[in-house]
Structure 1
Amino acid sequence: MILSVCPNPSIDTYAQLPDFKFGQANRVSWQREFPGGKGVHVAMAIKEWGDASRLLAAWAGHSGKWIKAACEEKGLSTVGPKLPGENRKCYTFLSDNPSLHNTEMMEPGPEMTAEHFDDLTSIFMQELGQASMVVMSGSWPKGSEATAYRKLISLANSNGKKVMLDCSGEQLGHAIEEGVFGLHLNEHEALQFCGTSDVHAAMRKLHEKVDLIALTKGKEGLFLSYLGKLIHANVTVDKVISTVGCGDCLTAGVALGVSKGLSVEEIARYGAAFGAANCLREDLGMIYKADVERLLPQIITKELTYA
């Protein structure tokens, strides 16, 4: 079982808004809602592929009940503490107005106290014994310690569990200091954290504390560095419907590849196929197994030389 940790889940709302007029009433043409948050996307992708998946998240209010129920309707097992307040909603607007298209608005979400974090940690430790691997993804609620991921990673490391991490900012900085098995970051996060988006320079810096690095550069695809090999993987997608959650699904594919003991090339192939599959439909942060199966043979991989 792969345990996915999502401290800050959300309701992801896809809304069609023809235009936006300041100071006036603006009507949404249609909207669809999906369970969201980076770790939620990871857990759902693993479950859709057919592997054992469990989601640990912090649930708050009616929004939390909705997200939890939506995940469980898809057969995903969920655990986690309850928080006061409401889990956030994240809106992505589609529009004929190019300046508005794919604009995102995010609600603040609930607050996590030290007591709530202790509750989450206790549940994490209970689940850890059953997990073959852990994926930790996304932001934390307000009030959380900047070392929250680091503390969970320390517990996982002490119990011999590999952790795949996808986060940014202070949480990433502290987590890296602890040492983590795997890390996914995009070129913007690499620039922010490493001071460069150059693949080779970023890899050199990150490998001081990280064994596996999955660095994504948009249309340029995935660069995966692991066990002394650097693999580039990419695939051409004819029509991109939405990129929301692509990186999360890619993280799920990489984690699955590692958990199955695949070669570095096959791990990269899984990651690229999962990420690309998420682009093909309007379902935010979700994949369909049939899409991944069709894309896997189309992935073009190439082994690169470290600079």
Structure 2
Amino acid sequence: MILTVTPNPSLDRTYELPALDRGSVVRATGERVDPGGKGVNVSRAVAASGRRTVAVLPLGGAPGALVADLLAAQGIEAAPVPVAGATRSNIALAEADGVLTKINAPGPELSAAERELLLETVRLRSRGADWIACCGSLPRGLAPSWYADLVARAHAAGARIALDASGPALLKALPERPDVVKPNAGELAEAVGRPLATVGDAVRAAAELRERGARAVLASLGADGQLLVEDTGTWFGTARVAAVRSNVGAGDSSLAGFLIAGGTGPDALASALAHGAAAVGLPGSVMPAPADLDPAGVTVTSQVPLERVLTEPVKGPVKGPVKGR
């Protein structure tokens, strides 16, 4: 069983557009409403694979009630934490050429009692979990050290932790030794405070996160592939993508694929690549089922192309929230 923790879930509306023409009326060619948040997406991908998952998340107001209904409709076991504020609603605009524009709301502010109830719910529901995946931005009311506290408590209970966070929340959690962290290229550059121009730069940045405490680093380099750095070795992989429809939730699907396959080694990286590649070919934040995967289109090697230039050089520290959270 994979338990997911999403401190700042959302109700996600995705509109497919021919093109985004600012200042004009644009008619959507497609529309989807999905339960959202990075941990929620991991649960949805795990459920789509036919495996058990439990989603812990604070929910409030009419949007929160709809999120709960949507999760139930997808057969996902939810462990909602009632909160006074309304769950946020996010909007994604997916253009026909693959360009995606996201508008993410801040979400409610959690009270001290709600913060403690969230931690206690994780503790109660984590019994028997193979992995706990803690994912996404922190809502107002949660300090950047909240993930660090959660990792420490989970390890004390004997659970393995996968952390998909960024900025101070990621850095403060590293000394608690999460079992795997999953930054994208921008988050990796931000964490080490310098630009990443090559795959070799990304490898060195991942090694630095491991020196700070992460036991393994699964780094998404976008169209350039994915990188896994852990005690047993370093692997690099790419996946064939026929067409891009939406990259909403693709990284979350990738993390789900990694954990489903055991969460370590080249086979887990191959599963991550297959799930991520399948997700970008689906509309909105639809999570891939086994029939959507193309394992033959995945290549994983221990011969890491260190000198390969990244398609888009990744800048160093950014100001404000990291894109995609």
Q: Secondary structure at the match of 1:207?
A: helix
User: 2:207 touches 2:229 (CA, 8 Å); kept in 1?
Assistant: no
Which residue matches 1:132?
A: 130
Q: Matches of 2:289 and 2:12 in 1, distance apart?
A: 18
Cα pair 2:3 2:129 within 8 Å, conserved: yes
Distance 1:21 1:212, change over 3 A: closer
Q: 2:187 aligns with which of 175, 186, 189?
A: 189
Task: Give 1:107 deviation, angstroms.
Answer: 2.0
**4+ residue runs over 6 A deviation:** none
Q: Which amino acid aligns with 2:290?
A: K
How far the C-alpha of 1:297 sits from its partner, in A, is 2.9
Partner of 2:321: none
Inter-partner Cα distance in structure 2 for 1:49 and 1:82: 28
How far, CA to CA, are the matches of 1:274 and 1:94 in structure 2?
20
1:237 to 220, 236, 241: 241
Q: Distance in 2 between matches of 1:184 and 1:85?
A: 29
**Are 1:227 and 1:264, in contact at CA under 8 Å, matched by a contact in 2?**
no
Amino acid at match of 2:175: E
CA displacement at 1:227 relative to structure 2: 2.8
Q: Please give the residue correspondences for 1:68-107 in structure 2 after superposition, counting only pairs within 5 Å.
A: 68-95=68-95, 101-107=99-105
- How far apart, CA to CA, are the structure 2 residues paired with 1:202 and 1:41? 26
Q: Which residue of 2 aligns with 1:199?
A: 202
RMSD of Structure 2 on Structure 1 (CA):
2.1
Q: TM-score, normalised by structure 2?
A: 0.86
Counterpart among 122, 133, 139 of residue 141 in structure 1: 139
CA distance in 1, matches of 2:273, 2:237: 6
Residues 195-243 of structure 1 show CA distances to partners (whole Å, capped at 9, x for unaligned) of 2431221122111211111011111111111233111111111111111
Partner residue of 1:304?
303
The whole-number CA distance in structure 1 between the counterparts of 2:202 and 2:273 is 17
Query: Is residue 258 of structure 2 the alignment partner of residue 254 of structure 1?
Result: yes
Look up the match of 1:287: 288
Aligned-residue offset at 1:306: 10
Distance in 1 separating the partners of 2:69 and 2:185: 34
Task: Name the residue aligned to 2:67.
Answer: 67
| Deviation string, structure 1 residues 230-272 (Cα, Å, up to 9, x no partner) | 111111111111111111111111112226xxx6110111110
Distance 1:15 1:266, change over 3 A: same
Q: 1:246–1:285: 8 Å Cα contact kept in structure 2?
A: no
245-254 or 200-209, which moves further after superposition? Answer: 200-209
Please state if 1:214 is matched with 2:218.
yes
Q: 2-side partners of 1:299 and 1:152: how far apart?
A: 34
Q: Displacement of 1:21 after TM fit?
A: 5.0
| Structure 2 SS opposite 1:211 | coil
Secondary structure of 2:141's counterpart equals: coil
Q: AA paired with 2:159?
A: K
Shift in Å, 1:104:
1.5
The secondary structure found in structure 2 opposite 1:189 is: helix
Aligned position for 1:264: 265
TM-score, normalised with respect to structure 1: 0.91
Alignment match, 1:154: 152
Give the Å deviation of 1:85.
2.2
Aligned residues with identical type, % of pairs = 25
CA distance in 2, matches of 1:19, 1:211: 42
Q: Is the partner of 2:261 in helix, strand or coil? A: helix
Q: What is the CA deviation profile of residues 158-206 of structure 1, one whole-angstrom value per residue up to 9, with x for unaligned ones? A: 1121100001112111111222110101111111001243122112211
Instruction: Tell me which residue corresponds to 1:49.
Output: 49
